[in-house]
Structure 1
């Protein structure tokens, strides 16, 4: 009989969470490099380059790949012959591991989990509790699959109960464009087919945690229905032309992974969950011999590449910038920002807008400023700030009209597309919207020279910061005339690729 000691179980999960915070899986690095070599759109190629450069920096510095260090998902397959040496429940041990990992002094991870989700939404402070799933299986070991799932990709989870005769391919091709770029493509699509509604969602989540092997499947060909479906979806989703960060291009997904399960004759449940460019997962087995040991990739596994857009990028001094200066910026143009900018996310925006509606003075001056949608990781050592990549700009769209009208704001920096209402406000107020690359948080933080909290300190990572930046790389997403690269570029690249029939695209 195998005895699993409390210390070994907790330490293994805590170590794994630290490990995946700064090491991409080798298969992901290879697939992303292949996408980089194949990419023909310069903007998308530069985005992939930033993701790969960031990945190597994180591996070297042992700092998070993304500022959103995720909500922890743990899948345990527990052998029925295992005996536990502990007085705690399994979920309590998992949560202790999460607490230790996310508060590790050498690599603090961002606490993003909020209690009372329908009410006060109070940060738990250590990213607990985790989401734990357990199954009992024959055997005397414990198999652990663990992931830290980012909120941006999780927000794009989709489910539908199709009729038995409906096409899964048609639904996926209709749904993926509706997900926008907030899930930070290129990444992996996990799909669950069958079972019941909750079973399909769990299968989709588990599928996200598998290794990338689509090129092997292409080479040998499909041997069953699911493999054939994977190949069809891989080709057709990439033919949509969405591309890296939604900038248009050849690679939107690195792989499509599918799990299926028998279902009721009247139903065809289908779930789809994307995994982002911060793909973080680990798999290990505990056999009673001690904590698990994870083998890091070799630095030689990362390609030697450089950032492409920096030499031709427009250099911008944020401290002297006026609204007139941004009027000739073009969608897709690369910029390097230097000077001061302010940060705010959802909770801070809610407070700011409430204050504006009550006629109260704001705690900071946004006149002629840019606002960066970010919740950074706490700094360690001599860092001024931890990894500080962008959050999804779309979530701030409902606040954008009043912020532009009432504050003198020139523009915003986030990731992904803006809504028609936000774009209309940007056009009306002759402002601009920029994107930083999601999945390049540590690289972005290297451009931040000073950081301090200037308002709403009680909000933790959602407090308003003032950043002083030097040559921070960004791309113009919406210009002052309301032209959006996320609306234009995927259509252009879908037409260039030429594999999606117009009749199917319009469904």
Structure 2
């Protein structure tokens, strides 16, 4: 009988979460590198270059790949022959490991978990509790799979109860375009088929933790219907032309993973959960000999890639930029931003909207007139850092506030990740504003452009407080111009036609 000690569980969970915060899985790095090398879309290629450079920087500096360090999901397979040397419950041991990982002084991770989700939405402060699934199985070990799942990709989870005669492929192809780019492609699609509604969702999440091996499957050929589906969905989703960061290109998904389970004759439950460019998961086994050891990868596993904005990039001084200057920016154009910007995301926007509803003014020191707002919730700094990893959050969540912000504050532009919805695009066009896109999944790289940081309002909101950043040469892409043209519409449409062999139109139809 194996004895599993309490401290070994806690230490193993904490170590694994620290490990995955800064080390991408080797198979993911290899898959993105291969996609980068074959990519023909310059915008998508540039985005993947930034993702790979950021990944290597994080491995070297042991700092988070993404500012969204995720909500922790843990799958435990506990052997029936295990004996516990513990005073805490298994859930409490796991959560103590999470707590230690996220408050580690050398690599503080962002606490994103909110208690009372339908009410006050108070931050727990240490990213607990984790979402824990336990299974008792034959054996005398404890097998652990854990992931730190980003909110942007989790928000794009989909479920459908199809009829038994319906096509799963058709549902996926109809659904993926509705997910936009907020899940930070290129990534992995985890698909769960069968069981019941909740079983399908759990299977999809488990599938996200599997290794990338689609090319090996293609070489050996499928041996089951699920494997045939993997290959068909992989090919046909990539033919959609969505591309890295939704900018249009050859690679949208790096792999499609499927898990299935017997289901009722009347049902065909299907769940789909994407894993983003900050894919983070680990697998280890506790056998009673001590904490798990995860071997650091070699830096040789990362490609030697350099990237710069190029001679065509336009340098912008945020402190002097005018509305007339903004009106000259073109969709897809690369900008290098320098100067001061304010930050704000969901909670800050809600609080500002509430102030306006009560007829109250913005807090002292908060002036958005002719300025830019960056949708970000940064990681706390460590050592001599000005700020921790500070990549963009999904902009569409701020769409409902955009018209009010532009009309009532004089805001000139916004910076985030992924596309904007029709409501926001209309507001941008009506107010002659602009939306700029930073690369999701390159948070540590982006943070190196931030020279100073200070909280100017709503300090109680933690990572969602309003900061003022001073940046130097922060790279962004013009995603929606002052006329309302969006690269997230034009890019994928162009590359879908290219992939299908349809001549690309250069003039409006």
8 Å contact from structure 1 (residues 2, 288) kept in 2 = yes
The residue that corresponds to 1:46 in the other structure is 46
- 1: CA distance, partners of 2:454 / 2:446: 16
Quote the residue 2:14 is aligned against: 14
Which residue number in structure 1 is paired with residue 126 of structure 2?
126
Instruction: Confirm whether residue 141 of structure 1 aligns to residue 131 of structure 2.
Output: no
**Following the alignment from structure 2 to structure 1, what is the Cα–Cα distance between the partners of residues 297 and 334?**
32
Task: Report 1:262-301 matches (<5 A).
Answer: 262-301=262-301
One of 457, 460, 474 as aligned partner of 1:458: 460
Could you tell me which residue of structure 1 aligns to residue 302 of structure 2? 302
Residue 427 of structure 1: aligned partner: 429
Structure 1 position 357 matched with structure 2 position 323: no
Distance in 1 separating the partners of 2:179 and 2:269: 19
Q: Note the alpha carbon deviations across 1:5-55, whole angstroms, 9 max, x for none.
A: 001111000000000000000000000000000110101000000000000
SS at 2:193's partner residue?
A: strand
Q: Residues 232-243 of structure 1 correspond to what in structure 2 (within 5 A)?
A: 232-243=232-243
How far apart, CA to CA, are the structure 2 residues paired with 1:233 and 1:445? 36
1:398-455 per-residue CA deviation (whole Å, 9 max, x = no partner) reads 0000000010100000001111011000000000001100000000000000000000
CA distance in structure 2 between the partners assigned to 1:296 and 1:249 by the alignment: 32
Superposition pairs of residues 108-123 of structure 1, within 5 angstroms: 108-123=108-123
TM-superposed deviation, 1:218 = 1.2
Select 2:413's aligned residue among 406, 411, 414. Answer: 411
SS in 2 for 1:288: coil
- 2: CA distance between counterparts of 1:239 and 1:280? 26
Counterpart position of 1:216: 216
Output one character per residue of 1:353-383: Cα deviation in whole Å (capped at 9) or x when no partner: 1212322221200011000000000000000
Q: Give the secondary-structure state (helix, strand or coil) at the position aligned to 2:436.
A: strand
Distance in structure 2 (CA, Å) of the matches to 1:490 and 1:65: 26
Deviation at 1:492, TM superposition (A): 0.9
**Shift in alpha-carbon separation, 1:239–1:499, aligned structure 2, 3 A:** farther
Aligned residues: 500
1:312: Cα distance to partner? 2.4
User: What residue is the counterpart of 1:505 in the other structure?
Assistant: none
Measure the CA separation in 2 of the matches of 1:499 and 1:92.
Answer: 56
Structure-2 separation of matches of 1:297 and 1:174: 38
Q: 1:445 aligns with which of 444, 447, 461?
A: 447
1:308: how far off?
4.4
Q: TM-score, normalised by structure 2?
A: 0.97
Aligned residue in 1 for 2:5: 5
User: Does structure 2 conserve the Cα–Cα contact (< 8 Å) formed by 1:411 and 1:434?
Assistant: yes
1:286-339 CA deviation, whole Å, 9 max, x = no partner? 000000000111000000011143432111000001111100111111110000
Give the Cα separation in 1 of the matches to 2:424 and 2:501: 32
Superposed CA RMSD in Å reads 0.8
Matched-pair contact (CA < 8 Å) for 1:236–1:499? no
Number of the residue aligned with 1:473 = 475
SS of 1:250's equivalent?
coil
**Kept in 2: contact 1:456–1:463 (CA 8 A):** yes
Give the distance between the partners of 1:335 and 1:282, measured in 2 at CA: 37
**Once the two structures are superposed, what CA deviation does each residue of 1:147-187 show, in whole Å capped at 9, x if it has no partner?**
00000000000000000000000000000000000000000
In structure 1, how many angstroms separate the alpha carbons of the residues matched to 2:178 and 2:95?
35
Q: CA deviation at 1:221?
A: 1.2
Query: Secondary structure of 1:229's partner?
Result: helix
Q: Is the 8 A contact 1:414 1:436 kept in 2?
A: yes
Residues 165-215 of structure 1: CA deviation (Å, up to 9, x unaligned): 000000000000000000000000000000000000000000000000011
Q: Which residue of 2 aligns with 1:82?
A: 82
Provide the rounded CA distance (Å) in 2 between the counterparts of 1:245 and 1:94: 33
Residue correspondence of structure 1 range 337-356 to structure 2 within 5 A: 337-356=337-356
Question: Using the alignment, how far apart are the partners of 2:199 and 2:40 within structure 1?
Answer: 39
- Unaligned runs of at least 5 residues, structure 2: 503-509
Preserved CA contact (<8 Å) 1:239 1:499: no
Q: Could you tell me which residue of structure 2 aligns to residue 385 of structure 1?
A: 387
Match in the other structure for 2:485:
483
4+ runs of 1 displaced by more than 6 Å? none
Contact 1:310 1:473 survives alignment (8 Å): no
1:147 touches 1:209 (CA, 8 Å); kept in 2?
yes
Range with greater deviation from structure 2 (8-17 or 299-308): 299-308
In structure 2, the residue matched to 1:495 is: 497
Q: Secondary structure at the match of 1:156?
A: coil
Q: Distance in 2 between matches of 1:266 and 1:175?
A: 22
Q: Distance in 2 between matches of 1:222 and 1:306?
A: 37
Of 328-337 and 104-113, the range deviating more from structure 2: 328-337
Alpha-carbon separation, structure 1, partners of 2:357 and 2:409: 12
TM-score by length of 1: 0.98
Separation in 2, partners of 1:371, 1:260: 44
Q: Any idea what SS the aligned residue of 1:206 has?
A: helix
